[in-house]
Every structure is written in C-alpha cells, then in structure tokens.
Chains A and B, each alone.
Chain A
C-alpha cells in the first residue's frame, strides 16, 4: 500500500531563512507525489506535483521539491521564507498510477510551518 510520512509535525523558521519540510513515501510502483498547502480556515491549494518527469519540481511561490527514488523522499524546500508561507503543508501520494482510472490521494499527517519575523 502507498503511504507518506511527514517527518516533522511542526517547523519554525525565521523570515528570510530557508525552509525544509521533509516527506518520505512508500509505494509499490513509480508514484505520483504532490505537496498541498492549507492556510488557516482555507481549502487545499496545490503547490507542486511529481509525475515521473523531471526529478526536481518547481512549484508556486518559490517552492520546489526533489524526488529521490534511492531515498524514497520528496522534501519540500524554499530558499527564503516569507510570513505568508505560514500554513499547514501536506505531502500526498496517489494510490494508483496517475494515468489510470480512479486513484485517490493519500495524505501525510501534515507539517505546520511557522514563520517568525
């Protein structure tokens, strides 16, 4: 079965410093992986996705993630944090190959990012 583990439930950084949110996955095939962000009392917004193309994926708002098969990781990074980045971040895997029929998303436990002034 496919699963994701977010290694930190809470990460705190200072504004202008780098962000690293860690995610490991487990999948029996080449997975499709996503990062979603959820601001307080808001819906889920797609930050970026990996679907077996380039291993370094660039997303919105300066975020990027690198798919490392040997480490089964898909960590999210940003060079310089902004106050508006404070939110909950979810690492997500699709439980079927993305091109097949169906294929629901399986969420990690979430990482709360705090950004200090």
Chain B
C-alpha cells in the first residue's frame, strides 16, 4: 500500500540558508500535517492543511511557511535557518471524515543546520 512520501530524506544546510521539504500524502488523503521533532524530543505540531487551505497552526516560526497544492502534496519552506532548526520533520496525512480514519506518518526528513 502507498505510504506518505517525504523528500529529501536528509538535508544539510548552513545557517541563514533556505530549505524546502516536500510531502506527498497517501492517495485520497485530503489533510496534511507537519511536525518537528528535535533530538530527544516528542514531535511538535507545526501546521496542517485541509483541502489546500490552512486548517490549524501550531508552534511554527515566522521564518517557516507551508502550503498544500492542487495535487494535495505539501511543501514546508524554511528560511534564515538557525542551528536550532536541526530536527526530524515529519509529514502525516489522513482522509478526514472517514469512519475510523487514521493519521499516517512519513519516514521524516532529517534537516541538519551547520
């Protein structure tokens, strides 16, 4: 079965650079979530989209932005990167409204800022 696809899997950037992470949800899933997991931390919710509109916002820095496109894939754009942005970034998706639906996570994108 198809899963949530994230790219790139690993990314190394320097301070003050920009990074873009991509997420391809499971087919027919209309909601996408972004989470950030720092070293030794639990995942923290950043932002979510439902039917291409932002549906909820968490602890996402102003330097970060995200959107969901017409094909339901989503991109997380991170600018002016800081060392503290080094983390594992998860994308997750679900088919909202479906009985017993579940949120499925991708393998994550490792971002290292040096």
Contact = CB atoms under 8 A, between A and B. Distances in A.
A109 interface: yes
Given A43-B90, A109-B42, A110-B42, A104 B108 contact: no
Q: Is the interface of A mostly helix, strand, loop or mixed?
A: loop
B99 A43 contact: no
B100 interface: yes
Contacts, number: 59
Contacts of B90: 43-44
A46 B104 contact: yes
B33 A104 contact: yes
Given A44-B90, A109-B42, A101 B96 contact: yes
Interface residues of B, number: 25
Contact of B99 (A99, A103, A109): A99
A98 B98 CA distance: 9
B114 interface: no
Contacts of B107: 42-43
B97 A104 contact: no
A105 interface: yes
Contacts of A51: 100
Contacts of B43: 44, 90, 107
Scoring A34, A43, A94, A106 by chain B CB atoms within 10 A of each residue's CB, the highest score goes to A43
Interface of A: 34, 36, 42-46, 49, 51, 53, 90, 94, 98-110
